[in-house]
């Protein structure tokens, strides 16, 4: 009979710890998702500089002349 009462106490203690922890974890995930969305929105607004490099390819004779 004592074992059953002790297991019940352990279960209740675990429940008292687990239930608020699950709500806290859910809130943290919501905050993290909101932060990620804000970062993505800020990144979408920035203009990324684009560098275009133009030139001609060297022929085999020009390559040999450089060495």
Report the alpha-carbon distance of residue 17 to residue 9 in Å, rounded. Answer: 12
Residue range 10-52, pLDDT digits in tens: 888 999 999 988 888 888 878 788 888 777 777 666 677 888 9
Report pLDDT for 17: 92
pLDDT at residue 1 is higher than 70: no
Report pLDDT for 50: 83
What 3-state class would DSSP assign to 53?
coil
The conformation of residue 62, written as its DSSP 8-state character, comes to H
């Amino acid at each position: 009979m004592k074992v059953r009462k002790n297991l019940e106490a352990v279960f209740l203690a675990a429940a008292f710890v687990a239930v608020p922890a699950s709500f806290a974890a859910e809130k943290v995930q919501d905050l993290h998702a909101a932060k990620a969305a804000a970062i993505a929105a800020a990144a979408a607004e920035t203009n990324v500089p684009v560098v275009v490099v133009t030139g001609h390819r060297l022929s085999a004779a020009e390559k040999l002349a450089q060495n």
